[in-house]
Amino acid sequence: MRAEELDNFSEGELLAKANGCFIQAENLDRQLARNDSERLRLLLEAQFYLTAVTRKRDERVARRDFWMEVAVIALIGAEILLSIIFGILAIREGREQAKVLDHMDQSASATADAMKAARDSLKLLADDQAKSLGILQQEQADRARKPKFALYLGNVPIGNATIHLAARGEEEPSVRFDLTLKNEGEAQANDSELHLLVPDGVFINCSVLPPLREYEPSKPGTRGFTYEVPVMPAGKTLRINTEIMAPKGSPPFKVTFTIVTAQLKTVVPMDSLTVLPPK
């Protein structure tokens, strides 16, 4: 199926397809079929349909908000126009009264009051319009905010960091260290999944995060680890206790990090950590 063909399906049809994929994946678990790659494919296909449903819903909400904004602006414009018309009529009436009752101070004072009231009304309407437009702009800015993940080793971005394995007697070389995951965006990040890709034979453990079922990488000779990341408000940091263990004689390698969250609707790469074995 091509991506543009999803526009021909309704939200109900897309949800039905996603549910079908979830059911097939659950049937694999019930049958104890150790086909992780097929289950991952079904879950990714279900996420593909759910992403299309979210996009359709966002488009519908955007169209609704657009027409609501048009209606509000039109209403404000009509109020301003009516105020101008009534103001002009009031001014004309005041001038006619001034001509007829030129020597009556009371009528002159009433005309001045009417003109002042018209000006005050126009000012209030203009202030209301500016306030309404400001609220609409703020709502649009809030919808545009997104989370942004960054990964550090100490204060060093993960892509610039290097770590050394240490040999302990007959044990395989290993190292323990702390990583810092930060949400540097302007919006809260909902539940996410942190994926780690290492060479086959390398073991890695992030003890703070709940582990999920290891995913099967598409690249031969590699091994994948997946961990659940909790909700992270904007500006929140999460310290991750990490351990890496590699077979003796392993060459230098990299640990590649990616993160997946439904809000960003894509897999976000987070660079790689360089690991050097003992000399």
Domain co-membership, 230 together with 243: yes
C-alpha 59/C-alpha 106 separation (Å) is 60
**Nearest-angstrom CA–CA distance, 256 and 237:** 20
Tens digit of each residue's pLDDT (9 = 90 or more) over 90-138:
888 888 887 777 777 676 677 778 788 888 888 888 888 888 877 776 6
Same domain, 57 and 70: yes
- For residue 182, what is the domain's CATH number? 2.60.40.1510
In a shared domain, residues 201 and 256:
yes
* 197 and 63 co-located in one domain: no
Range of the domain at 203: 149-276
> How many domains, in total, are found in the chain?
2
Residue 125 contacts residue 161 (beta carbons within 8 Å): no
User: What are 173-220's pLDDT values in tens digits?
Assistant: 999 999 999 999 988 998 899 999 999 999 999 988 999 887 777 788
249, pLDDT greater than 80: yes
Mean pLDDT (whole number) for 234-262: 93
Query: Within this chain, do residues 127 and 170 fall inside the same structural domain, yes or no?
Result: no
Q: How many residues does the chain have?
A: 279
Average pLDDT over residues 135-147: 69
Domain termination site, one of 144, 177, 204: 144
Paired residues of 162 in beta bridges: 274
107 and 159 in a single domain? The answer is no
Which tokens is 110 given? 């009433």
Q: Does one domain contain both 259 and 159?
A: yes
Token reading at 24? 């097939």
pLDDT of residue 140: 62
Verify that 265 and 252 share a domain, yes or no: yes
Last residue of a domain, one of 144, 179, 212: 144
Percent of the chain beyond pLDDT 70?
90
Question: Quick one: pLDDT at residue 218?
Answer: 73
| Residues 110, 72 share a domain | yes
Same-domain pairing of 137 and 225: no
Euclidean distance between CA atoms 247 and 200, whole angstroms: 10
Tell me, yes or no, whether 109 and 188 share the same domain: no
Mean pLDDT score of the chain, rounded to an integer? 83
| Contact yes or no for 36/216 (Cβ under 8 A) | yes
Q: Are residues 184 and 208 in the same domain?
A: yes
Phi, psi (rounded to 5 degrees) for 207: -70, -25
Q: Of 274 and 117, which is predicted with more confidence? A: 274
Encode pLDDT of 14-73 as tens digits.
778 778 777 877 777 666 555 677 777 777 777 777 787 787 777 777 778 778 888 888
Residue where a domain stops, chosen among 124, 144, 164: 144
